[in-house]
Amino acid sequence: MPKSLPVLMYHYVSSWPNPIAVDPDVFESHLEGLARAGYRGVGLAEAEAFLRDGEPLPDKAVLLTFDDGFLDNYVNAWPLLAKHGHKATIFAVTNKIVEEGLPRPTLDDVWSGFVKMDDLPRVNTPVGKTREGLRVRTDLFFSWQEARLMEASGVIDVAGHTHTHRSVFTGPAFDGIIGAGARRRTFDRVDQRVVFGMPGFERGPAMAHRAFLPSQEVYDLVCAMVPQNAQEARDALAHDGGQAVLRRLKALPVERLGRMETDDEMRARLGADLEASRRALEANLGHPVRTLAWPWGRFCPEAREAAREQGFSVFFTTRVGPNLPGKSADAACRFKARNRSARWLLSRVRVYSRPLLARVYGALRS
């Protein structure tokens, strides 16, 4: 049995040049390299039992994980995992999973001669433009039917990554205002009402922070000065318009900007999101889901308590370090798989297989 379980964290498996994307050819080299070195990607149930209960795993076990539920995980990663004999887990954002639609083709359909590469979904360019020419994110996500197909194959398990993967305002400090620009990130939504021209309050992961609630006075002031149509808002905030709004907001005493949410409000917010995630997963997949990966790897004690109330019992972060049998279920560690060689990946897997070395290496990188 391994003394520490290495857990790899992927996001995109596509040729899109992005820091969290791994090219399909590189990903296949990772899988081949792991297999040649004797490592095997295990299923989620095996990993849960090891992390939570101390149950044994095969020597050289690893856990391959993917965050968010991007369509390329279904199109590219799933067939490659099956081809090389590995299992993996996808932590999916449930409000992004597509409700209906026929299953889309995958690499396996290309290999079988049913479709050509050009017939696969366009998963390599998740950026588009608005009518005004602004660049926006256009990520594609897999569907519930596709999730069920992956699970039925025995190759992929689907688990929780919250329902919305959102941020919250965390305090009254601000330097600028929120404009009507394009969305440059996939998960840039704030779990509160946002209007054009309002203060750009500091923000952080919703599962890790108590939320700051802007006052009705702020909303009223801003909406009286800034139209809430995107194009009209851009025109109104251009040049001195934005500075006029900012001056009015800066003149408000801090206590009139808003307040922090109460303990009851925080518990209700956290619980509602986690319950929605669990209910969606269990209703659509047909089985209990007990594992959750925190968005951005961040959480607070209140969030973990709310998740436990929903039945989650194994939790993954983005911290690096060892994962010990029966001792790491509360905050399991993962390391980021990069678009680098299999040799590089194997060197990291060997580090995180050794508890002391993993702890030292993790401390140096924190």
Cβ burial of 311 (10 Å; 0-12, 13-18, 19+) is middle
Q: What is the pLDDT of residue 63?
A: 98
Beta strand 40-41 with 156-160: parallel, antiparallel or unpaired? Answer: unpaired
pLDDT digits (tens, 9 = 90+) for 13-40: 999 899 999 999 999 999 999 999 999 9
Q: Are 52 and 326 in contact (CB under 8 A)?
A: yes
pLDDT digits (tens, 9 = 90+) for 201-239: 999 999 999 999 999 999 999 999 999 998 899 888 987
DSSP 262: P
pLDDT at 257 over 70: yes
CATH 3.20.20.370 domain position(s) in the chain: 7-165+266-365
Residue range 103-110: mean pLDDT, rounded: 98
Cα 146 from Cα 74, distance rounded (Å): 7
With a CB cutoff of 8 Å and minimum separation 6, the contacts of 301 are: none
Q: Are 57 and 282 in contact (CB under 8 A)?
A: no
Residue range 49-60: mean pLDDT, rounded: 96
With a CB cutoff of 8 Å and minimum separation 6, the contacts of 77 are: 10, 13, 27, 66, 88
Q: What is the pLDDT of residue 191?
A: 94
Among the four given CATH numbers 2.40.100.10, 3.20.20.370, 3.40.640.10, 3.40.50.620, the one describing domain 7-165+266-365: 3.20.20.370
Beta strand 291-293 with 314-316: parallel, antiparallel or unpaired? Answer: parallel
Q: Token match 């003149």: residue?
A: 251
Query: pLDDT tier at 182 (50, 70, 90 boundaries)?
Result: low
**Best CA proximity match to 331, nearest among 361, 286, 299, 285:** 299
A 10 A CB-CB count for 125 gives 10
Cα 13 from Cα 72, distance rounded (Å): 6
Q: What is the pLDDT of residue 308?
A: 98
Q: What is the pLDDT of residue 129?
A: 61
pLDDT at 134 over 70: no
Backbone angles phi, psi at 106, to 5 degrees: -125, 180
Interior/surface letters 207-243, b for 16+ CB within 10 angstroms, e for the rest: bbbbbbbbeeebbebbeebbbeebeebbebbeeebbe
DSSP 75: I
Query: pLDDT tier at 77 (50, 70, 90 boundaries)?
Result: very high
Q: What is the pLDDT of residue 135?
A: 66
Query: pLDDT tier at 132 (50, 70, 90 boundaries)?
Result: low
pLDDT at 131 over 90: no
A 10 A CB-CB count for 173 gives 13
Whole-prediction pTM: 0.95
Q: What is the pLDDT of residue 185?
A: 80
38 Rama class: left (phi>0) / alpha (psi -120 to 50) / beta = left
* Rg, C-alpha atoms of the chain: 22
For the chain, give the mean pLDDT: 94
Strand stretches in 245-360, DSSP E:
258-260, 291-293, 314-316, 335-336
Query: pLDDT tier at 138 (50, 70, 90 boundaries)?
Result: confident
Q: What is the pLDDT of residue 130?
A: 61
